[in-house]
Amino acid sequence: MIQWYPGHMAKAKKEIISNLKLVDVVYEIVDARIPRSSRNPDFDEITKRKKKIMLLNKEDLADERITDLWIKHFKEKGIEAVKVNAITGKGFKELEEKTKEVCKDILEAKVKKGLTPRLRGMILGIPNVGKSTFINTLIGRKKAKTGDKPGVTKSLHWIRTPYLDLLDTPGVLWPKFEDKTTGFMLAITGAIKDEILEMEEVALFLVSILKNRYPDYLINRYKLDKIWEEEIKIIEDIGKKRGCLVSGGEVDFVKASTVLLEDFRKGNLGRISLEEP
Ligand code: G4P
């Protein structure tokens, strides 16, 4: 996992801007569960004047109704977005169609010049949104982590698909460090290290969202009798139900918090969106 420093960020930005010159279209990958918090703060500025498509990835983990609201929301702001699952390739066909639509003028110009109507693109996004997974699935490659180094590294390779040549190495951008809520959102989804924020604090924040928006998911998963107003009591109940106890029979809050966060990240609670447009 990367630690970001101003020097890294400047370097990443510089390398990405230089690679942008090579492409027609930029794909911004975000986590569909947190489309606001998982965007890089400088993305729009870095990619200005480029054709852009947003990929709402991990759609399998997000609440579909809300993901569709996000797509509508971004469209209203002039950003085309497509929901995808980078592991299974769901949504890739729609992405192809959307790409051709967004880049229609470029394709037509190529045809006019007698060139093959192919496009060049690159992937950008903060760590852990699924950039490597997307690239690997696109070309049917098993697993090769394309690197956690800031920016785009080493020599450039292109992945060929019937309509698109995609840069093999995604541009890794830094996450938002704006406010505590954003930090919690990134921590809950595993986009930033668990050590950065206290596990229990992160779990309490997750419970504060779930108890209002998805209470039944908590009740069903942990066979809870009721949902308390106080988040800490909900975690305590989860700990009791899961046998997360320290000697003496008290609930081990760190353990209970870990159980909840792991269940959330794996989608064991159900399909959950943490942010609404
Ligand atoms: P990155 O290149 O942007 O850093 O992300 P990467 O592809 O490594 O994906 C991060 C984690 O997200 C991986 O989990 C990957 O399997 C998972 N992932 C990517 N796309 C999807 C998706 O559409 N749906 C779901 N459910 N998961 C997705 P991991 O291997 O468990 O990562 P970790 O244990 O190293 O954190």
Query: Which ipTM value was assigned to this complex?
Result: 0.96
Q: Where are the alpha helices (DSSP H) in the chain?
A: 6-20, 43-46, 64-76, 92-102, 104-112, 131-138, 180-188, 199-213, 215-222, 231-242, 253-266
The pTM assigned to this predicted structure is 0.93
Alpha-carbon distances of 32 from 39, 55, 66, 251, rounded to whole Å: 10, 8, 9, 33
Secondary structure of residue 131 in the 3-state scheme: helix
Ranges of beta strands (E only) in the chain are: 25-31, 51-57, 80-83, 119-125, 158-160, 164-167, 171-172
Asked whether the predicted pLDDT for residue 272 surpasses 90, the reply is yes
Whether 86 is in the pocket of ligand 1, judged by its Cβ within 6 Å, is yes
Q: Which domains does the chain have, with CATH numbers?
A: 6-172 (3.40.50.300), 198-266 (1.10.1580.10)
Nearest CA to ligand 1 atom 28: 58
Look at 149 and 236; give whichever has higher pLDDT: 236
Dist. CA 105 → ligand 1 center (Å): 34
Query: Contact, 175 vs 186, CB < 8 A?
Result: yes
35 DSSP assignment = T
Cα–Cα dist 70/96, whole Å: 20
Task: Check residue 198 and give its pLDDT.
Answer: 87
Asked whether the predicted pLDDT for residue 30 surpasses 90, the reply is yes
pLDDT in tens, 209-252: 999 999 999 999 999 999 999 999 999 999 999 999 998 889 99
Pocket test for ligand 1, best of 39, 61, 128, 271 (most atoms within 8 A of CB): 128
Asked whether the predicted pLDDT for residue 145 surpasses 70, the reply is no
pLDDT in tens, 69-126: 999 999 999 999 999 999 999 999 999 999 999 999 999 999 999 998 899 999 999 9
Query: How far does Cα 136 stand from its chain's mean position?
Result: 16
Whether 190 is in the pocket of ligand 1, judged by its Cβ within 6 Å, is yes
Q: Are strands 25-31 and 51-57 parallel, antiparallel or unpaired?
A: parallel
Query: Contact, 138 vs 57, CB < 8 A?
Result: no
pLDDT band at 67 (very low <50, low <70, confident <90, very high): very high
Number of helices (H), then strands (E), belonging to the chain: the values are 11, 7
pLDDT band at 166 (very low <50, low <70, confident <90, very high): very high
Q: Which two tokens stand for residue 219?
A: 């009740």
* Closest residue by Cα to residue 129 from 84, 194, 74, 80: 84
211 is in an annotated binding site: no
Asked whether the predicted pLDDT for residue 147 surpasses 80, the reply is no
Task: Check residue 250 and give its pLDDT.
Answer: 94
Nearest atom (ligand 1) to Cα of 129: 3
Asked whether the predicted pLDDT for residue 3 surpasses 80, the reply is no
pLDDT in tens, 174-191: 999 889 999 999 999 998
Secondary structure of residue 85 in the 3-state scheme: strand
Nearest atom (ligand 1) to Cα of 88: 23
